[in-house]
Amino acid sequence: FANTYAAYEDLPEEEKRYLEGLKIEHRVEAPIRRQTPNPTEEQVKAWQAKEPKIHPLVWQHRSGRKSLVLGGTACQVLGMDEKESDALIERLMKWSEQPHYTYRHNWRMGDLVIWDNTGTMHRMVPFDKASGRRLHRVTLEGEEPILAVA
């Protein structure tokens, strides 16, 4: 789990100003493609059936606190060529994944972890498939969503 509020807050002021107006495309297929380098035509069709989402790269909670909208689905900064976009996303991901912004949970039976998706980047780590796992997603009513930008 990476705290993208703290990661944003620690960026140099000049970089914050640069990032503020940028928009980023998120695609469900982006992280899957990294793990499936030779997908079938059927897999590609299924992935591409899900519309990409465009979000601000820097999102502001109504409290005023700002966070980076990153994660495995982040694939293209709008208005940048692919090389420039990939470099920016990679740099911001590495910045946000520094040890002082992250928490890695060592799972034990019965554990419960709750996080705020508006300021947390998270991903699954490899685990023993025979051990099983269960995830329940709960969305609290009244919280402010990160809306896709038209």
Q: Residue type for 74, please?
A: A
What is the distance of C-alpha 147 from the center of its chain? 14
pLDDT at 61 over 60: yes
What is the residue-averaged pLDDT of the chain? 85
Residue 46 parent element (H or E):
helix 41-48
Residue 88 parent element (H or E):
helix 82-96
| pLDDT value for 57 | 96
- Top pLDDT among 145 and 60 is at 60
CB 145 within 8 A of CB 62: no
Pick the closest to residue 26 from 50, 46, 60, 2 (CA basis): 50
CATH class belonging to 2-131: alpha beta
| pLDDT value for 145 | 59
| Measured distance CA(68)–CA(88) in Å, rounded | 12
Pick the closest to residue 29 from 71, 85, 73 (CA basis): 73
Q: Residue type for 109, please?
A: M
What does the pLDDT look like over 79-129, one tens digit per residue? 999 999 999 999 999 999 999 999 888 888 888 888 777 788 876 666 677
pLDDT at 20 over 90: yes
Here the tokens at position 81 are 């060529």
What does the pLDDT look like over 131-147, one tens digit per residue? 777 777 777 776 665 55
| Measured distance CA(98)–CA(7) in Å, rounded | 9
Pick the closest to residue 8 from 122, 92, 94, 98 (CA basis): 92
- Top pLDDT among 71 and 31 is at 71
| pLDDT value for 18 | 97
Percentage of the chain lying above the pLDDT 70 cut:
89
Here the tokens at position 147 are 């809306």
